[in-house]
Amino acid sequence: MLSLLSLHTIRSRSQDTSAYQEIEFSAAAQWSQRQLKANREVIIIGDFNSTPWSDRFRQFVRRCSAPRHMPRSSDLMNSQK
């Protein structure tokens, strides 16, 4: 079975929005862990308002228990300019 989460996190513009974005990433990671424990495959897509090389995004990927099939950062599409 496959579980899909479409996520659009808030843009981190201030201390408050940064804290809220951390809550969003944490909730998504917890959701991912629950799905994996239920033997489901997980796909999380969306606008994370974060670059793939940012500390917050890397921590999010680790907390999601991302499998070895995680795409390389060069494979990720992002809108950062």
In a domain, 80, yes or no: no
Split into its structural domains, the chain has a count of 1
Give the amino acid at 35: Q
Residue 59 lies in a domain: yes
Packing angle, helices 15-37 and 55-63, rounded to 10: 20
**Is 49 inside a domain boundary?**
yes
| 48 within domain boundaries | yes
Calpha distance 17→39 (Å, rounded): 33
Q: What is the value of pTM for the model shown?
A: 0.79
Residue 81 lies in a domain: no
Please say if the pLDDT value at position 80 is more than 60: no
Residue with structure tokens 């843009």? 11
Largest CA distance in the chain: 39
Give the pLDDT confidence of 19-42 residue by residue, as tens digits. Answer: 999 999 999 999 999 999 999 999
In the predicted structure, residue 79 carries a pLDDT above the cut 60: no
In a domain, 38, yes or no: yes
User: Tens digits of per-residue pLDDT, 28-77?
Assistant: 999 999 999 999 999 999 999 999 899 999 999 999 876 655 555 545 55
Distance (Å, whole) CA 8 – CA 42: 17
Range of the domain at 65: 2-75
